[in-house]
Amino acid sequence: MVSEVAELVPILRAVDSDVKSNVFKEVTTNWQTAKQVEEKFGAEGLNALRFFEKMKLVETKWQTGPGASPEKAYHAFYSSFHINATAPVQEISDVLHAAMMPDADYDKIEASVYNMVGPEGKFSGDVADALKVTQTMLKALVKRSPRLDFRGHRIIRFED
């Protein structure tokens, strides 16, 4: 269930390219290993899986085949989304802007935040002040990133 407007970003970004959309369809219908996804969709498919895992859109399990070593398999957590969020127009605008921003523009902001938080992380209020953005915009920007995450009120570098 989506109850906070910034939670829309992962859903919107999960289908923002043909590869992501197709990988998401695959993991919605069947358990898929990273190897299967890579064979079918290449490196971009693996990046999509990593993004889905960070966004908590997929669950994982270890599976083995006859004579094979264990492999991590992925499956969508959700077969449907229930969206129940009310927010001021400015917050919706911030979220949609962060979700739909061109990749080149977003990459610059993401790199800046990634460098700013460093290996130790940083209080989100300090990051928002440095970027001169609202907390909602910052949440949406971090939700979009496969390299950043929230831990409480801190922004950290996301590790697998």
Render each residue's pLDDT in the chain as its tens digit; 160 residues. Answer: 677 788 888 888 888 889 999 999 999 999 999 999 999 999 999 999 988 988 888 999 998 877 678 889 999 987 777 777 788 888 889 999 999 999 999 999 999 999 999 999 999 999 999 999 999 999 999 999 989 999 999 999 987 5
| Res 35: pLDDT | 92
148 contacts 131 by C-beta, under 8 angstroms: no
Distance CA 64, CA 93 (A): 45
Residue 85: both structure tokens together: 């969020």
User: Is residue 71 located within the same domain as residue 116?
Assistant: no
CA–CA–CA angle 14, 18, 35 (5° rounding): 80
- Is 43 part of a structural domain of the chain? yes
User: Is residue 42 located within the same domain as residue 103?
Assistant: no
User: Is residue 93 located within the same domain as residue 72?
Assistant: no
Distance CA 114, CA 145 (A): 10
The β-bridge relationship of strands 154-157 and 32-33 is unpaired
| pTM of the predicted protein model | 0.73
Q: In terms of DSSP H, where are the helices of the chain?
A: 8-13, 18-29, 34-54, 89-100, 103-117, 124-131, 135-144
User: Is residue 28 located within the same domain as residue 54?
Assistant: yes
Considering its fold, how many domains does the chain have in total? 2
- Is 23 part of a structural domain of the chain? yes
Look at residues 53, 76, 99 and tell me which one is the last residue of a structural domain: 76
* Structural domain boundaries, residue 33: 5-76
Residue 137: both structure tokens together: 């915009």
Look at residues 45, 76, 107 and tell me which one is the last residue of a structural domain: 76
- Is 61 part of a structural domain of the chain? yes
